[in-house]
Amino acid sequence: MNPTDLDELLRQHAQRWAEVQSPAPLLATAVERARSKRRPRTPYLATAACVLVVLIATATFLWGRRDGTSPAGPAGETGTVVGQYRIVGGPGPGINEAIPGTIWAYSGHRELSALLHARPVAHVNTDSTGEFTLSLAPGQYTLLAAQGRSRTIESSGCGVPVYVQIAASTGTRIDLICSVP
């Protein structure tokens, strides 16, 4: 088959094809459909919005935990406990100085055994001088201090729990002592 034959063949084929085609759809109807069809929203926007909401919720939650705010207490009805975490004792002449650490607050007055599996309602990191401020809803609490993030619960020594009573809009001062022999 030479090139001219194929060229002519394709033209004839195209002509026969066009002869049997159905007429084009009504343009006015198609334009009306095109006009009324809304542009589909890209799924990326919805995904981005969901991610943003999750990030804001997470940030809010973490910010609240960082501040040591009790989730139970509505604004204006909390009291505060302030104090210092200190290490005291040791072989003579002994030490008595502030140390950095973490203060954990448990609701109610709890025995040592009850603290083992209890979930703290708030926690706060002390500053470099061992000072801390914790906002809590009014009520009774058990405070526990520890150096670093791991809690050690002891009947004597460094991990002794301390009981505190929090009243609304009132500040309570209490120092947490890590006693070393």
Partner 1 sequence: MVPDLRGEDAFTEWVAPHWAAMTHLASRLCGRPIGEDVLQEALTTAWRKRAQFDPQRGSARNRLLALTADQARKAHRRSTRRAESQLIDLPITSPAANRDIDIDHAIRRLSDRQKLAIDLYYFLGLPVADVARVMRCAEGTVKSTLSDARERLRHDLGEDFE
Interface residues with partner 1 (CB under 8 A)? Answer: 1, 3, 6-7, 9-14, 16-22, 24-25, 27-28, 30-35, 37, 39
**Minimum distance of partner 1 from residue 39's CB (angstroms):** 6
Instruction: Give least dist CB 49 to partner 1, A.
Output: 23
In this structure, what DSSP letter does residue 43 have? H
Strand pairing class (171-173; 79-89): parallel
**Closest separation between CB of residue 42 and partner 1, Å?**
14
Closest contact distance (angstroms) between CB of 128 and partner 1 is 60
Residue 30 in 3-state DSSP?
helix
Neighbours of 160 (CB within 10 A): 17
CB-nearer residue toward partner 1: 30 or 57? 30
C-alpha span between 120 and 124 (Å, rounded): 11
Closest to partner 1 by CB, 23 vs 148, is 23
- Quick one: 10 or 180, whose CB is closer to partner 1? 10
Distance CA(145)–CA(86), nearest Å, equals 10
Identify the residue whose tokens are 């609490």: 141
**Residue whose CB is less far from partner 1, 20 or 75:** 20
Whether the CA torsion 137, 170, 154, 122 is positive or negative: it is positive
Q: How far is the CB of 18 from partner 1 (least distance, A)?
A: 7
Distance CA 179, CA 176 (A): 9
Q: How far apart are CA 120 and CA 106, in angstroms?
A: 5
Which is closer to partner 1, CB of 14 or CB of 57?
Answer: 14
